[in-house]
Amino acid sequence: MQIQEVNNSKSKKAFLDVARLLYKNDDVWVCPMDQDIINVFDPNHNIYFTHGTAIRWVLKDDQGNFIGRIAAFINEKKADFDGKRGGGIGFFECINDKEAAFKLFDIARAWLVERKVNYILGPINFGENDFFWGLLVKGFTNPSYGMNYNHPYYEQLFLEYGFNVKVQQLTNSLNVKEGLDPRFVKVANYVLKKKKSITLRHLDKKHFDELADDFIEIYNKAWTGHENFTPIKKEYIRDTFNKIKPIYEQKFIWFAYVDGNPAGFVFCLPDVNQIFKHFNGKLNLWNKVRFLILKQRKVINRIRVIALGTVPEYQNMGLESVMTAKCFERALEAGHYTDGELSWVGDFNDKMLAIHKGLGAVLDKVHITYELHL
């Protein structure tokens, strides 16, 4: 077997094609869009390169066939925390062969050790945790856009190498057509009626800059104190919204205010993987036309709640219930949405899991972020 660093056009193409080869007989897998992965490793598109670095490798067998890949990265803003220094691996794909998998783990580990890392998280993304994060270990059904899907045997490869569970990432689902639990709706309506200080506002393209500032303020206050937290910047928000511009619906993204102060947000998107599954990762001109046609035909019937955040001082007001109810109210109005996915929530987040339960959602998928101590 031979490992090759990804450093030219041929190896960059191979890095993308490895997954297509490994999942060619898997009808459930949805090929991630090539451009989404390319952008992760492009300093012109990924602002994490301003304070970090990444590297990729592909693995060939003795006959020259590509059989695996892996990436490693360091985010210098998050690497050093609580006296430890961490790095990450991700985009792991491999045939069901321990020797091959360990060869990939070894080279990523060696690169990280050279950079004084003493623990590794994986599989993670060189970016925020809303995309390409965690190893799927339960719920091998159609993946939503941005959610990792992998072969079931990957779990054993990680465990046998010595990785241990860091956090379980839980995805819950509900039937939109059946509506929300009446008790949940009652609570949401009660909060709005009794607490006149609360106002709601959905995303409005005309006021993007203002709402982007509110998003940043809420996000940075809501997640401060979390392990490896780094304040988010407007450049990242602008890039994210530009990327999702063709797919988002304004009334699926809501902001809550208390006495006019930004207090919370919910970020929900239609699951475009239901269209992308026909594209094999390619978004050429013809597929862009097909996308618009299929979207107009309302073939997307699943929505995904990507993020829900509330400023700490407002976390006991029921804002989460109010905003989430608004999203699903819009989904019901649209008429063609039948499934809702709430992803993902760490197993440590009791409050958010309680909200999911209140909605009537049930466990659907489990991803795991592993940790390897060196």
Q: Give the pLDDT confidence of 254-300 residue by residue, as tens digits.
A: 999 999 999 999 988 899 999 999 999 998 999 989 988 888 888 89
List the one residue out of 196, 213, 194, 312 whose CA is nearest residue 255: 213
> Which residues, including other chains, have CB under 8 Å from residue 262's CB and lie 6 or more apart?
214, 217, 218, 255, 311
Instruction: List Cβ<8 Å contacts ≥24 apart for 268-271.
Output: 268/303, 268/304, 268/305, 268/306, 268/327, 269/145, 269/244, 269/303, 269/304, 269/306, 270/300, 270/302, 270/303, 270/304, 270/337, 271/144, 271/145, 271/300, 271/302, 271/303, 271/304, 271/341
pLDDT digits (tens, 9 = 90+) for 37-52: 999 999 998 989 999 9
| CB 41 within 8 Å of CB 30 | no
Confidence class of residue 57 from pLDDT cuts 50, 70 and 90? very high
Confidence class of residue 228 from pLDDT cuts 50, 70 and 90? low
pLDDT of residue 195: 77
SS3 of the chain: helix, strand, coil, percent, to 5: 40, 30, 35
The pTM for the full model equals 0.89
With 0-12 / 13-18 / 19 or more C-beta atoms within 10 angstroms meaning exposed / middle / buried, residue 259 is: exposed
Q: Which helix (H) or strand (E) holds 174?
A: strand 164-175
Please say if the pLDDT value at position 168 is more than 70: yes
Confidence class of residue 187 from pLDDT cuts 50, 70 and 90? confident
> Which residues, including other chains, have CB under 8 Å from residue 164's CB and lie 6 or more apart?
370, 371, 372, 373
pLDDT digits (tens, 9 = 90+) for 89-147: 999 999 999 999 999 999 999 999 999 999 999 999 998 888 899 999 999 999 999 99
Please say if the pLDDT value at position 26 is more than 70: yes
pLDDT digits (tens, 9 = 90+) for 171-181: 999 888 887 77
Taking CA atoms, 159 is separated from 68, 98, 326, in Å, by 18, 11, 41
pLDDT of residue 13: 97
Please say if the pLDDT value at position 318 is more than 90: no
